[in-house]
Amino acid sequence: MSFFRTIFVVMFLLCVTQANAAVVVGKDYKLLDTPQPTSSSKIEVLEFFFYECPHCYHLQGPLGKWEKVMPKDVDLEFVPVIFRESAEPLARTYYALQTMGQSARLHNDIFEALHVFNMDLSDERKITEFVAKHGVDTKKFAAAYNSFSIASKLNRSEQMVRDYSVHGTPTIVVDGKYTISELQPDETVRVLKEVVEIARKERRAGSH
């Protein structure tokens, strides 16, 4: 075997080993100081995000692919955060579209509008024009956007940010106790898969 071929094989094996390395608490993920109750009988995965966050946009592709093939015992929920007042219109938009059954369809479109096409979606009028172009009934959207139920969802989101000690986005929380943040998109999904398995084993152990 030639010298260069040997180097190639060694590097390849190192990459494979790293890709399959077991996740480490404190390095790949952290434990919440105060675990939170989950709202699902399934393994709960929460992604705290806001649409203007470039890191959330870059994660959306890999996370979206995983969502399509994620195990049936996993439930993925998106939680829009409001770290500043200007983030409220799009957080409100997410919940309004969710109420209408349109959030999954337009989730990527909103990210791309902001990060690919540099669109201004900073207020209700501009957002309404945008969703109308994507086939959303504007009257129903306005009613949902300004409803009391959406205000309640926003309050719940703000409370969850405090309860889960979320200080940046994207932050993923698995089963109310494991948090994943500050990783590259593909690495985030790799760790997420492993942590879901940890949560699954813990649930099984607890059921005995």
The answer to whether position 85 is within a domain reads yes
**What's the pLDDT score for residue 63?**
97
Do residues 91 and 81 make contact, with C-beta atoms less than 8 angstroms apart?
A: yes
Q: Which helix (H) or strand (E) element contains residue 122?
A: none
The answer to whether position 12 is within a domain reads no
CATH number for the domain that contains residue 131: 3.40.30.10
pLDDT tens profile 136-192 = 999 999 999 999 999 999 999 999 999 999 999 999 999 999 999 999 999 999 999
pLDDT-based confidence at residue 207 (cuts at 50, 70, 90): low
The answer to whether position 132 is within a domain reads yes
Print the domain residue range for 129. Answer: 42-206
pLDDT tens profile 38-57 = 977 899 999 999 999 999 99
Question: How many domains is the chain built from?
Answer: 1
The answer to whether position 7 is within a domain reads no
The answer to whether position 32 is within a domain reads no
The answer to whether position 111 is within a domain reads yes
- Beta-strand relationship, 171-174 and 178-181: antiparallel
Q: What is the mean pLDDT of the chain?
A: 91
pLDDT tens profile 100-142 = 999 999 999 999 999 999 999 999 999 999 999 999 999 999 9
The answer to whether position 95 is within a domain reads yes
Q: pTM for the full model?
A: 0.87
